[in-house]
Amino acid sequence: MARFRKVIAIVLAVMMMAGITAYATATDGEGMIAVSLRIEGVEEMLFYEREVFLVAGSSVEDLMVQVSETAEELGIVFDSYETGDMYISAIAGLTEMAFGGFSGWSFRVSGGSPTVGMSFVALKDMDDVVFFYGDPWGDAGMQYPFVDLSDLYTEGVLRVLSRDEVYDEDWNMTLMTNPVVGATVTLDGAAFTTDENGEIVIADTAGIAGYKRLQIERFDEESGIPTVLRMGPDSMVYVPFVDTPPNEWYEEAVMYCVYAGMFIGTDAERNLFSPMTNMTMAQLVTVLGRIAGENFSSQADPWYAEARDWAVDNAIASGQGFDADANLTREEFIYMFFLTAELVGSFDMEVRADITSAADYGDINEDYLEAVSWAVASNIIHGTSGAELTISPGFVVNRATVCQMLLNYYAS
């Protein structure tokens, strides 16, 4: 099973909040899967579990039956259509039609609305299931918000949009992108209200890059029923750094390392990450310390002092002539990460790969051979040449490359 698979799934889900998912009829399968389940009532979230384990091939109905048995206080009430397909008519005493119209319980899976009932929706590993109370077909409607940050740095505008399903008189559906108007947006504790374009204006964007807590709410003024699907309690939006444009090869790696708390930017005021800047010794011992669970003070003098002392005390770095500004090579990074992994003790340290056939095997420092062998076996490095294994041990690494190597390991 992939290391920290749920963490990276959450990171990617931030980018896919409005994704459309294809659904298949549930079939028998082998093994187990893990899905998340959230149940949103009218005024509050009623249930949230990030990992519910099911037999592979289980349907949404199977999920809800299992949860109803383990969380009896939810009082989930099942009903069935004439076709035999099951649906949920009440949870926690909140019944269908309680707000008139077509109000009741609906569900979404990994950002998409199924076109069949919950008995016929097969779940996949790491799917996100959300049941919510609303009236998607009523006059107030229901929107499923996502955030557009394309004009954040140029105009200070954050835009909230929704991909809405619009039906004609014959119930033919068209998918349209519309603004989410009049919604309360809470971004890292600051509250805003979206205008007619679904926009809020952030006057000062200094230090905004990175992951920010996000919540969006709106209720029908007459009935009080929710008209947007609230986001989860741990929902975040990733605000990219100014110098990490979309679709660069390192985008996912930087996102992951920032989310996991390994890296921060190099200039908070200007929202810079400096991906192509060479990785220094001071930066690396700070990153490795965070991986080991250390929480270094931002008030240390110099700023890396606590990380340096931690690395020296744990024999990750030498205290003799510690050069904070020294650039790191691939083999030096691998060796220091190897020592950190041994220190943490929660990694597979026994795996080794045969690297003797590497084109530049003779260039690897003898002290680093075991660490490099482990790194190849652990998927940290794949070599720098497609034709043959090339370690390039003396290549200087930049911040983006270190992020990529860490992602290679944790997401493998």
> pLDDT by residue (tens digit) across 9-20?
434 444 333 333
What is the distance, to the nearest Å, from the Cα of residue 264 to the centroid of all Cα atoms in its chain?
A: 16
Task: Identify the pLDDT of residue 156.
Answer: 96
Mean pLDDT taken over the chain? 90
Residues of the chain with CATH 2.170.130.30: 5-134
Of the two residues 6 and 75, the one the predictor is more confident about is 75
Token pair of 104 as six digits = 């009741």
Q: Which of 322, 411, 412 is nearest to 9 (CA)?
A: 411
Task: Identify the pLDDT of residue 6.
Answer: 40
Of the two residues 15 and 399, the one the predictor is more confident about is 399
Task: Identify the pLDDT of residue 14.
Answer: 41
Task: Identify the pLDDT of residue 30.
Answer: 61
Q: Which of 4-18, 206-220, 395-409 has the lowest mean pLDDT?
A: 4-18
Q: Which CATH class is domain 5-134?
A: mainly beta
Q: Which of 205-219, 234-248, 345-359 has the lowest mean pLDDT?
A: 345-359
Tens-place pLDDT, residues 173-200: 788 999 999 999 999 999 999 999 999 9
What is the distance, to the nearest Å, from the Cα of residue 101 to the centroid of all Cα atoms in its chain?
A: 36
Task: Identify the pLDDT of residue 17.
Answer: 37
- Tell me the C-alpha distance between 52 and 34, whole Å: 5
Task: Identify the pLDDT of residue 171.
Answer: 74
3-state secondary structure of 72: helix
- Tell me the C-alpha distance between 155 and 38, whole Å: 35
Tens-place pLDDT, residues 222-281: 999 999 999 999 999 999 999 999 999 999 999 999 999 999 999 999 999 999 999 999
What global pTM score does this model have?
A: 0.84
Tens-place pLDDT, residues 313-325: 999 999 888 999 9
- Tell me the C-alpha distance between 276 and 176, whole Å: 39
Q: Do the Cβ atoms of 130 and 38 come closer than 8 Å?
A: yes
84: confidence class by pLDDT, cuts 50, 70, 90: confident
Q: What is the mean pLDDT of residues 305-333?
A: 96
Task: Identify the pLDDT of residue 83.
Answer: 75
Task: Identify the pLDDT of residue 386.
Answer: 60
- Tell me the C-alpha distance between 218 and 200, whole Å: 15
Token pair of 299 as six digits = 């008030």
- Please, where are the H alpha helices in 219-304? 251-259, 281-291
Write the CA distances from 120 to 60, 112, 165, 324, integer angstroms.
8, 15, 21, 59
Tens-place pLDDT, residues 120-146: 999 999 999 999 999 988 887 899 999
- H-helix or E-strand containing 67? helix 60-70
388: confidence class by pLDDT, cuts 50, 70, 90: confident
